[in-house]
Amino acid sequence: MADKTDIKKGRELLFKYGGTKVGRVISFSLSVDGEVIDVSDIDSGEWNEFLRGRKSWTISLTANRVEDAGDTEQSTITSDFIDGASEGTIELKPETPETGDVLYSGSVLVTSFTVDNSGSDDAVESSWEFQGTGALTRTVTA
């Protein structure tokens, strides 16, 4: 069996929002950040001391707009955000999970939405920013 890691080829990954595949993803990034708490005191001497604090996570996603090709999930995210109901769940996993593959899931708030077209013959792109709310769950396929 091949050694599995969290990192896969982009074309092998599947991104779902609200249980539905977001089609034609061009790029995405997942960022997990951790706070540090300074607990230095007089006994620390010349060195600062820290404890690990809370973590947070975000996802940025860019996809081609192809609503005429049946890409209704992009419309759902967009209309939900514009209408104010901007929360849901995400899944990030391989298109065809195998034993040992890593899957991520969690609840998100949609914090930003952009539509961009850089040229008349280019596909219209949509970009979203998601702020994780609560834990980002990492699961290994059995």
Give the count of beta carbons closer than 10 Å to the beta carbon of residue 74.
21
Q: pTM to 2 decimals?
A: 0.75
Residue 18 structure tokens? 């609200």
Structural domains in the chain plus CATH codes: 10-140 (2.30.110.20)
| pLDDT tier at 69, thresholds 50, 70, 90 | very low
Mean pLDDT within 99-110: 88
Of 25, 53, 24, 21, give the one whose Cα is nearest residue 39: 53
Q: Read off the pLDDT of residues 17-58 as tens digits, 9 standing for 90 and up.
A: 888 777 678 888 999 999 999 999 999 999 999 999 999 999
